[in-house]
Chains A and B, each alone.
Chain A
């Protein structure tokens, strides 16, 4: 401990300091940032090995791995920030295979001049999200780019997990006759982000739904091991996710608009902004596709979990080589719910 104090005679000023080029140079300043920020907050046994890699023995079974870059703007938004989002996003991508997430890695790209106070706030939030999820950040990397070459901070996280035996969950497994479920109201994240954008700023009580869903998924696969598909409807929203699965599985889907959970505030904000909530991003929701006769059981398990209280059955998988997702509108007509074209809103995650 004494040796450590000698190594960095003065502590980093996290209140007033800024990221500068030395924080990514490989020298003492970088080592100090790692020590006093990342190791301090992420603290865990594997990280403390102090090597460029984390060494662990994988459990037996099938491993899954996923990576996700985060560039959300603004960095702090109602219900979360880029730190918690980068933990939840990757945990969810790993968990959508039915896997139990084990470890995360984190790569930070910092812009010269970025306030260290903000960086600390983000790292604390990330550490808290990782602790709550029980999935530690075991290795990482920091780079600094010149002012104007980044936008504060970008975070890339990678996760590994292990899939319990007996599960076969894939976007290619949806079968005609299956039920389509969603774990709760759609569009919260996208609308929360929009409400905090500088040039849009509107007052709303809507907060991002950003959450790690592996606990919910563990309950779901324990109750209904033959779930066919799971996916989190992030960018492109529910519409994009259903189209992806329909395409992968070579099936069609039929939805009932009245059954899709949607908060009145989100509905109203979308109305005002000319957005379709089916295309607005979520960060704490999942779509599940399972055999019709298991749907009620699965729904009950989902509704018993804090992240699935408002889950609903929203439609069915049908035979259709062309992979159309159609919907009976709340008005009584029919429309196609197509892929998202262009971009509804950039940099939401």
Chain B
């Protein structure tokens, strides 16, 4: 595969591994938080941690779009499908995410709600065109990467005057979440988590650019390296972070230069600015209310806003008791610290959101078996 295989080469990985081993000071440890679920997935899928020295650890961040959506929003989506009888279009990842009362989109679908899995916003638009007598709602989730396509869908609906289409907007913003993690008391005061640097998002940064991270690097004195999603990108970026830490630098560096520019994708940013506006506050699973961390549909396009078109009851659903997803999403706990992990909570029967998506830390721990390998290693020792 051209442009992909080049970034998965074993011999280069070995060389990078030895460079990292040489660069890492054995007298200290390096905790690198990868914000994005895409990085988490790559680290597990390719066994990147195996190639790292013991004192370089990845701390998995909250950048899994389905993981951070709070239960009340999923309850609302289910209510749209059940009470308002809409055709609810969703990305496949959302289907199994637990809602309150042990419900989920997939269970609501089995019980008769018209919930359809789509691969793009264009599919949802097409369903709306094909079924003019039904209301069609697109369940929009995700970070800055999936936001521009939602903006396009809303603009297309407006241009075509597609009256039976609307968007239930749950788009969230990466910089606000990173800032929130850095400001959390656990990090600032209690010293529970020590994060020495960040692997910056790849796809998100292709949209927003590298400039938005300058503030954190400066304010919180933590280095950020924007990293591609391939395993060699992750290793190269880890090496760059280790060097910054060693040299006492805290800069935004860009490893993913083949895609990310300082200013990002102006066209996509303009689209987002036109169709969306900032919410004052939005609840994240794991992080709680985060100010200015999400988008809503702007007044100009209010007609296509499902939240304005349909009334939903305020859900007070909370996470399953004992579920540590909130702490795991902040990097405070590891999946294996959760009592539910691997006992009642497995990818087949997820209790918390981190066990659902392949980008979720718990699912990655489970599927790619890091925890079991550790256990096997322990047993052998």
Name A residues whose Cβ lies closer than 8 Å to a Cβ of B: 199-200, 264, 267-268, 271, 274, 276, 322, 324, 326, 328-336, 338, 341-342
Complex Cα–Cα for A75 and B13 (A): 44
**In the bound complex, CA of A335 to CA of B374 (Å):** 11
Given contacts A329-B45, A331-B13, contact A199 B123 (CB under 8 A): yes
**Are B1 and A338 interface neighbours, CB within 8 A?**
no
Task: Among A199, A274, A332, A338, point to the contact of B14 (Cβ < 8 A).
Answer: A332
B4-A271 in contact (CB<8A): yes
Q: Which has the most chain A C-beta neighbours within 10 Å: B46, B49, B366?
A: B46
Shortest beta-carbon distance from B231 to chain A in Å: 5
Interface residues of B (CB under 8 A from A): 1, 4, 8-10, 13-14, 17, 44-51, 96, 118-119, 123, 231, 346-348, 358, 363, 366-369, 372-373, 376
Q: List 25 A-B contacts (CB under 8 A).
A: A199-B123, A200-B119, A264-B1, A268-B1, A268-B4, A271-B4, A322-B376, A326-B369, A331-B9, A331-B46, A331-B47, A332-B17, A332-B50, A333-B46, A333-B49, A333-B51, A334-B50, A335-B368, A336-B368, A336-B369, A338-B366, A338-B368, A341-B346, A341-B348, A341-B363
Q: Using CB atoms, name the residue of chain A closest to B358.
A: A274
Task: Tell whether, in the assembled complex, residue A330 and residue B368 are in contact, meaning their CB atoms are under 8 Å apart.
Answer: no
Which residues of chain B come closer than 8 Å to A333, judged between CB atoms?
A: 46-51, 231
Instruction: Find A331's partner among B10, B346, B358, B366 (CB 8 Å cutoff).
Output: B10
Find chain A residues with CB under 8 A from B50 CB. 332-334
Smallest beta-carbon distance B90→chain A, Å? 13
Closest A residue to B14 by CB, please name it.
A332
Q: For A270, give the chain B residue with the smallest CB separation.
A: B1
Known contacts A328-B47, A341-B367, then 4 further A-B pairs from the complex at CB < 8 Å, ordered by chain A residue:
A332-B13, A332-B50, A336-B373, A341-B348
Min C-beta distance of A204 to chain B, whole Å:
14
Task: List A contacts of B44 (CB < 8 A).
Answer: 335
Assembled-state Cα–Cα distance A333/B373 (Å): 12
Chain B residues whose CB sits within 8 angstroms of the CB of A276 once the complex forms = 45
- Across-interface contacts of B348 in A (CB, < 8 A): 341-342
Q: Report the Cα distance A271→B5, complex, angstroms.
A: 11
In the bound complex, do residue A271 and residue B1 qualify as a contact, i.e. CB atoms below 8 Å apart? yes
The answer to whether A332 touches B10 (Cβ under 8 A) is: yes
Q: Would you call the interface of chain B mostly helix, strand, loop, or mixed?
A: helix
Tell which of B14, B17, B49, B347 touches A341, judged by Cβ atoms closer than 8 Å.
B347
Residues of B within 8 A of A328 (CB): 47
Bound Cα distance from A326 to B363, whole angstroms: 17
Cβ–Cβ contact A331 & B231, under 8 A? yes
Q: Is the Cβ of A342 less than 8 Å from the Cβ of B96? A: yes
Contact of A330 with B10 in the complex, beta carbons under 8 Å: yes
* Across-interface contacts of B366 in A (CB, < 8 A): 338, 341
- Give the Cβ gap from B115 to chain A, nearest Cβ, in Å: 13
B369's nearest neighbour on chain A, judged by CB, is A336
Residues of B within 8 A of A268 (CB): 1, 4
Residues of B within 8 A of A330 (CB): 8, 10, 46
Per CB-CB distance, the 6 closest pairs between chain A and chain B, nearest first, are A333-B47, A336-B369, A341-B347, A331-B46, A333-B50, A335-B368
Alpha-carbon separation in the docked complex, A38 to B372 (Å)? 53
Q: Please measure, in the bound complex, the distance between the C-alpha atom of A303 and the C-alpha atom of B247, giving whole angstroms.
A: 57
**When the two chains form the complex, which single residue of A322, A326, A335, A342 contacts B45, counting CB atoms closer than 8 Å?**
A335
Q: Please judge, given known A-B contacts A338-B367, A338-B368, whether A329 and B376 are in contact too, CB under 8 Å.
A: no
How distant is A341 from chain B, measured CB to nearest CB, in Å? Answer: 3
A335 to B51, CA, bound (A): 12
> Could you tell me if A199 and B46 are in contact, using CB atoms closer than 8 angstroms?
no
* A336 partner residues in chain B, CB cutoff 8 A: 367-369, 372-373
Q: Which of A274, A335, A338 contacts B47 (CB 8 A)?
A: A335
A336 to B365, CA, bound (A): 10
Q: Determine the distance from Cα of A347 to Cα of B4 in the docked complex, in whole angstroms.
A: 30
B346 adjacent to A334 (CB under 8 Å): no
- Cα distance A334–B373 in the bound complex, in angstroms: 9
User: A343 to B358, alpha carbons, bound, how many Å?
Assistant: 12
| Min CB gap B134→A, angstroms | 16
**Interface contact A324-B347, CB-CB below 8 Å:** no
Contacts of B96 in A (CB 8 A): 342
CA distance A200 to B369 in the complex (A): 31
Q: In this complex, what residue of A is CB-closest to B230?
A: A331
A161 to B369, CA, bound (A): 40
* CB-based contact A338/B369 at 8 Å: yes
In the complex the two chains form, is B347's CB within 8 Å of A342's CB?
yes
Q: Which of B47, B348, B363, B372 has the most CB atoms of chain A within a 10 A radius of its CB? A: B47
State in angstroms the CA–CA spacing of A200 and B231 once bound together: 27
